[in-house]
Each structure stands twice: as C-alpha cells, then as structure tokens.
Structure 1
Amino acid sequence: MKEIIVSGVNDYSVVVGTNLRTLLIEQILEHHKVVIFYAPAIKDYVIELVASTELANHQVFTLQLEDSEDAKSFEQFKLCHDFLGNQGLSRSDLIIGIGGGATTDIVGFVAGTWLRGVRVIQAPTTLLGMVDAAVGGKTGINSSFGKNLIGVFHDPHKVICDLNFLVSQSNQDLASGMAEIIKCGLISDKSIISTVLKDRSRLFEPNHPNLVNLVISAIQVKAKFVEMDRLEESSDSVGRAALNYGHTLGHAIENVENYSWRHGDAIAVGMVFAAAMALELKFLTHEEFNLHLELFESMFLPVVYKGATLDNLIKVMLNDKKSRSGTLRFVLLEGLQNPVFVEDLDREILEKAFVRIAK
C-alpha cells in the first residue's frame, strides 16, 4: 500500500493498494451518518459493503447514479441533494463516491455545495478516475455549452484507490486511463514515458507491477501541480493548468460527440493537436511530435478525428475554462516536460495542426 499526501488548505492522503475495503469501512465507522453515491457497475460491491458485519446498526444510506457522463447533469445533481435532505445529512457526516471519474466529479460537487461543504471520500473504480478525476478537488457537472463548466473546488477528505477494481475493466477503459498517465509523462515525468514504451504489451494486465507504479507516478505528478496552484489561478506560469494538456480540444470533441467518446480517447487526440501546434511553432521537434503518436498508438488510442470541422470545434473551445476574453488559450509543450500557455495563435497555425489530426 502506498500513501501520497496532497498538501492544501487541509492536507489529504491518496491511498493506492489492493483489498482496501477494510480502510473504507474504518472511515465509515468514524462518522455518525454516511451517504454513498455509486455507479451502476459496482452495485454488488456496495451491497456487500453495506451488509458487512462491521457496519451492522450503522447509518449508511446508498443511492445509485446514472452511468458515465449521464451522471453529470442538473437532474442527477438535484436528485443527490434531495436524497441528502431526506436522510438529514449534517455537516459532521460523510459522503462517499464510488465509481469512475464521472461519479467522483458529481459527488464531489454535491459534497462541496451541500451545507456549503461536507466531507467526501472518493473511491475511484476506474484507471481514469484514479489518476485524474478523484485527485485535486476539481468537481463539477456538464452543461450544454461544454464539459465541467459548472462546479467548485472541494478537496476530498481522502482518496482510496483499490486496484482490485481494475480487474473488471475493459482494455478500452484501461487505455482511456493510460491517456492521462501518458499526459503526466509528457508534461512532467519522463520515466513514465520510458515505462510505457518498454512495457506497452503488458500494461493491460491490471496486476502488472509497472501499471501500479504508473498509477502512483501519475498521482504524484498531479499532486505536484495541484500543490503549486490549487485553484488554477497562476498568472505568471502555467501552474496547475498544465494538467489540461490536450483537454481544450479533447473537451470540445467530447461535447460535439455528445460524450459518446471516452475521455482518454478525446484527450489523446487533443494532445496530438497540441503537439502539432507546437511543431508548427518550433516548440517541438518532429521526433517529439512522433513520440506523441507512438505513445498513444501503443495504447490503441486514437490520434485522428474527422467528426467535426475546425470552425465547429473552435466555437466549443471558446467556452473552455482557460479561454480569456474570446481568445483561445492552449497548454503546449516547449520541449518535453516543459508546459507553457500560448494564446491568440494565428489561424494558419490552427489549420495546419488540424490537418494532422483530420487526415
């Protein structure tokens, strides 16, 4: 078991290991009343958890949410608040989110807005949730204008990453999580890149030691950027926004495709687009651009997108949280592991980069 401390207003730990149900039970027993919101895929796990002898006579209430991005809606948000009100959850009680990244996103938002903030423990059950959504305190739901546009920063009390859940993940879902892990390698930790290239054929084995090490490394990268810029307010450097590498176009693709694309698939294309812009600006070499292609293709992630025109995608990207005064801002790499903000790019740069992903 590995424990990673994330420093902030209130420090919290991210625990990575196997067979962590006991740890979750211990956290439940420390609170008078607990509400668990969970994804449909882990219904049986939640039923067994609540029925465990250790929790006999303890007040634990559960509510199943919609699957995937369907959970991140106003309707589900209201449903959760109504449920908390009916159970009389107080500020000293606990909320737990168990599921993928979409589940932890909305559950964090619910916890951050109920009574102006109550404790939440996030128990991500997907690789994507473990290395991205559950860590860092970003919470939210989607709107018709884009992804994650409505939300708050609300740090979890604890994050519990039980790797046993990965055994039931499909290769496509594991690949989606690998996109975020590769991102951490590109923006910060070159050892992640070398591990992916060396063990590419083994990383779809949930119990492979190097997959476990990659999860830990990616969480450590995210923790580093979160600690330096918790609320993504840095003005003189890219700060926490570095974690959005590939997300400007990636979120636009998700929106245009009505969230039928996996998040990791969309941001893989987004990172290739960002790398193509950096190539045009001579921030990256051809070898570094081709490395992006090799990394994503080794995980069977897409590197092209033909589902919308550049103009349509720009309209969506202008609603991105990083945009300022109607100007697109992108996180690009000025050399590997050196993320920077670039804005007000010439249309020609965007068009040339788009050709590389729409070929």
Structure 2
Amino acid sequence: MNFSSGITLSISTSTTVPALLITWRHFRYFPRMGGPPEENIQDGTGLSYIPASSIKNYGSGNYLLRPGDLPASFDNGSFLKSPTNKDISVQEDVTENTQNTGGDASLPEKEKRLYELMRMMPKESNDISEYDIVFVLRLMYECLGMHIKKLHALVRDIYETVDFVYNRVAWVDCSDALKDGYKSGYYTFFLKNQGKRPITLLCDMETDGGGWTVVQRRQRYADHVIFNQGWYPYKIGFGNFTTEYWAGLQNIYVLCSVRNCEMRVNLQDTKGNQAYAAYSSFYLDSEENGYKLNVDGYSGNAGDALERQEGEREPVFSTYDNLNKTNRYCARKMFSGWWYSACRPNINCIHLNEKIPSRVTPPGLTWPTWRRTLSTTAIMIRPTKE
C-alpha cells in the first residue's frame, strides 16, 4: 500500500509465526552543505519490532515496513492510521525547508524545523529511532552554535562600547580626542569639577597641529547670544555650542589646573581678514582670586591686547554685578564680562547690530591692537607640548 505521505507497506501473508511483529526502517534526511537532500539519505534497518496491533497508534511518518508475519486478514491495512492533511502539510513544509536551505538555513528556519520535528516525534521514548535522536541533536547543536555566534557578536559590541565610553569619560580636553584620531567637531567632556559635569565644546583639530579646545566663540548671527551676563553665568558657562558660547570660568580653570596650557585667539573682521594672538603660557587663578588672568609668551600678527603696563597687576575677571576695584565700572560700560585692566573694548562685547537698553553706541567685537568691527572670534586652549 502506498500513501501520499510516502508511507510504503509490504505485507506478507505468511502465518508461520503467530506473533504479529514487523520490522521497520525509518528514513531521515541529513543534508550536506550544497548538496541535494535526496543524495544524502541515511537509514537504519532492523532497529526494532513493532507489534502489528500497535501500528494503528502511530502517527504518519516515513516508514518502510519490511515483510513480517501478518495474517492475510490484515492485508487491507484497515488498522493503519492514514495521514491527515495536517500531517502531510507539516511533513511537506519540513522537507521543503530542508531541500531549499540545506546547511545554510538561517537561525529562525533551523529553529522552526527543529520545532516541527520535535512536534512530530512519538511521545514514547521507546518509539524514537536513534537516527531521529541524532538528527534532532545535530539541529540543536547548529541552532546553539548560531546563538553562541550571535552572543559573541553582542559581547564584542559591548566591549567596543565600553571602551568608547571609557575613553570619552577619560578625555580631559580636545587634545585627548586628537590622540584617539578624532577630527574637528563637537565633543562632550566630563570635567572633574565638583563631580564630573558634562560640557560640550568645539574641538579644532586642524589649526597649528590641532587639539584646541574652544572656550569662547563669537559669530555674527541674526539671533545673537547675549554676552552681557552676570558673574554666575560667566562662571558656569552659557550660550549655544553650535553658534556662540562661553565655556565658563570654572571649566577653563579646571582644564588648565591639571595641565600646563597655551592659548590662541583667532580673529576675523567683517571683510574676511584674519589674524591671531598666541600665548605660550596661560592659566587662571581660582574663583577666590577672581579668576585672575595669567598669560605670557605672546606671538602672532594681531598684537598683544592682553599686555600689561609696567607695574600693572594681572587683571581679575569682572561682570556688571561683580566689579573689580581697579576698573570699577568697565564691565557695565562695555556691556560684557572680561579681564579689564582698562576700559577698552574686547571680544566679549556685544555686536554692533545688537540692541542694548542704552543710548550709548555698542562698542562691537574688538581686539584693540588689531582692528575694530570683528565678525568672528575664538579663544582656544590646549596643553603645552612636553
């Protein structure tokens, strides 16, 4: 008898042996990489004897029943369970997946195939052939191997992420980012300043060897950042790091208290002319000392606008609400916080086109030793080369 599911029966009419036993053989596909399944069939013979009276309890499957001792009255196979449409569809799906994917099946396909095979296997352990067990174990091994491979990839990603985060947290300024191969852009640093407070700043990795941390930036925008701020905003920083900002006196103090720093001031006027003033030594005193400015070793073509007159002390920082004793009203007159040694315009002043609550003409961005009406400025610092 032949069933559409592939079940083939060869029934003997011999009754020489009263025991109703048959010998069966169970086929399973073991596909090789790149080879069609039908060329790789493995089977076992004589693995067990199944009582004919129990055959009707078996589900559909790929069984080849060898000649056994069956009465002629059983020749019609009425005691056999015919495969249902559900059984046939499941078998066809499993066979099709095996033929189409072979050894290159994806993990979901392999797991689906494993699930279907497990569902089709007999419930009693004595009814499972060793080839079923080998096939299922092999499929389990393949699925487990693919899961382990995915886990290895995830672990590798985690290690890379941890390394990246550690490097970012360990960075002190833009010079560290430059050493790690990063280009100009905006980066977040965690300064050791009463706890690690994040601050995002612009890094210049091109000018004069790069590694510059931009702590002040001015540009001409329709919506300007107001630099006429009080002491506290100048202390912690303010502005928009993508346009105009002040990094904060305390942050600048921290950056140059752990390393010796140099400073560079880049200038550009409204006609596009450029100049710079560089200082080989730069640092600030603490807040208790008014963030006093200490610079030395000038070079450049913009002139030394921070030069002190003979006998003049290093200037402390002043704002309209925290005036220094030497030049008491300069911050109010210039509408900006700065290290005033005299009431002269500076690069923290408000732009010429900004509106101010006064009839006084705004001084505009100025580097006194170069020229007035600047459009772009930047104060940059970096560790000195050891």
With the length of structure 1 as denominator, give the TM-score of the two structures.
0.26
Q: Which has the higher helix share?
A: 1
Q: Which has the larger radius of gyration?
A: 2
Q: Which has the higher strand share?
A: 2
Higher relative contact order, structure no. (Cα contacts within 8 Å, ≥ 6 residues apart) = 1
With the length of structure 2 as denominator, give the TM-score of the two structures.
0.24
